[in-house]
A = this chain, B = another copy of it.
């Protein structure tokens, strides 16, 4: 069975040393926690995920979910584990205290999610989707709706889902056909078929609150005619008790590549009774307000699974003996050297390690921007943080899941033939994490969002804020000898990004389609550069740590060494990406349909 050691020291490093979250007193509620509390929470989640969730990961994959007599049965052990999850209060971390939540920052919730996803992605999706439903109702629901559903969603007593996709409508929600007809007393009858519904039905809780996108009879055409409804699996009486079953069901389970422990359902709504969430026809806008959180939540899956895959690959590389080092025998007592002596095994592991740690820092920064956007006392700071979070949302989703998948493939590769065999767990990581590149907007859609909405529509305003932050950082480090390797690497990458952005501007004016052709490559370039920025900041923080903390010299030295590797291995990729953007984008558009 795969091992897992929650990266708690790295969480402390990011939260305390790099992001300094304990001194952000302008953020409402940030004065209510201290390192002791946060460490205890993260330690608790680490224990729960390692002891309870991880042992169910492989068995959940083999067993999968079953649909029997219209009800979904989750894999053995899931019901019990979920009950403990609820009892321990792990569902409540970042939720509103008014409804039983603990009001902890996003950045803490983020790392809790990393551990959950690392140890059991399929299981983690049940509470994960619930959190989305909670957020939708919390932000857009009426007081009545909030009173009815929020406490039970916060506690985890009930779960939630998001019903968007239909067979003919995925990315393009304008094509939705699900209908909502007024049924009196503020209620609506929802009818239609939804597919790919994660946690659509299960046996973990008594009720499931489905958030469903549908069209009202008077809906304008297109995306401006979509409304959002809360549709319970079981009707809820005025006193909060459960009434009769609603007219909806899981029609079938999707046969998926991975995340078998999560019930991905085809859902049928047959005049199911629901209530409007937010204003009529404003459903897509309601979804969009939660998008930054939701996409960060998928991005962290890319990191979480990459982290556990790395840990197991490293463990195997230390343990497995095979062949000898090119420079001669290292391990005379044994018949062969551990494969960690081989340069290519090291290359794969260091690529993963430097990606994981750098990305963890970036995602922490993104979560803190989300916190600032919501909690900062200064409206200008709130606005600035919101702009930055919007800009980086496609990066933390699209770039991180893309590279996280590749990291898992590399980790699997370290195992040789054993990586292809189920028992070792590595092939499951690859199958599971593959979905993160697709759902919550494919990574191609993320790239389009980045170049279209976040760069072009915005006329580069958010990018400018960030670029100036990078420039100021570089400026501040120019006199610092120890920082030079990192500053030089960051400057080269940032320079390539600047040139690529200029090309985008020209392309957009001449041929909008070639903007699309460049988008994914641009997102990669942006992602690599932004992680280079984080590694430079990590290096700065590590140099400070070296001076102030005599007991953990090895930890900080390791950060510097890993930063150096990132600058040598990852950062130079920007050069080719820039060349690809310049040379290939317009060419891609010149191919006629018949040319493919």
Contacts and interface: CB of A to CB of B under 8 A. Distances in A.
A513 to B, nearest CB: 5
Contacts of A576: 572-577
Given A438-B419, A558-B595, A575-B579, A342 B165 contact: no
Contacts of A195: 417
Contacts of A434: 409, 412, 420, 427, 430
Interface string A126-170: 000000000000000000000000000000000000000100011
**Chain A residues touching B, majority SS:** helix
A596 B452 contact: no
A517 B588 contact: no
A521 B405 CA distance: 19
A333 to B, nearest CB: 15
The 3 closest A-B pairs by CB, nearest first: A343-B516, A343-B517, A568-B583
A474 interface: no
Given A420-B257, A569-B580, A587-B568, A340 B521 contact: no
Nearest to A352: B596
A306 to B, nearest CB: 15
A10 interface: no
A380 interface: no
A442 B415 CA distance: 10
A273 to B, nearest CB: 28
A161 B460 CA distance: 61
A513 B325 contact: yes
B561 A572 contact: no
A343 B568 contact: no
Interface stretch (A18-26, A89-97, A279-287, A443-451): A443-451
Interface in A405-437: 405, 409, 412-413, 416-417, 419-423, 427, 430-431, 434-435, 437
A505 to B, nearest CB: 15
Nearest to A222: B335
B326 A516 contact: yes
A52 interface: no
A484 interface: no
Q: How many copies does the complex hold?
A: 2
A529 interface: no
Given A438-B413, A517-B346, A171 B565 contact: no
B588 A513 contact: no
A342 B327 CA distance: 50
A172 interface: yes
Contacts of A416: 170-171, 438, 442
A564 to B, nearest CB: 6
Interface in A480-524: 511-521
A517 B344 contact: yes
Interface of A: 165, 169-172, 174-175, 195-196, 254-258, 314, 317-318, 321-323, 325-327, 335-336, 340-350, 353, 405, 409, 412-413, 416-417, 419-423, 427, 430-431, 434-435, 437-439, 442-444, 447-448, 452, 511-521, 554, 558, 561, 564-565, 567-569, 572-577, 579-580, 583-585, 587-591, 593-596
Nearest to A341: B513
Nearest to A322: B172
Contacts of A558: 595
A349 B513 CA distance: 15
Given A413-B438, A573-B576, 14 more contacts: A174-B336, A175-B322, A175-B335, A256-B427, A326-B448, A341-B513, A343-B514, A343-B589, A344-B516, A344-B517, A353-B596, A413-B442, A420-B435, A572-B576
B171 A322 contact: yes
B438 A342 contact: no
A222 B30 CA distance: 63
A565 to B, nearest CB: 6
A515 B435 CA distance: 36
A341 B512 CA distance: 11
Contact of A512 (B327, B344, B421): B327
A516 to B, nearest CB: 3
A596 to B, nearest CB: 5
A216 B488 CA distance: 59
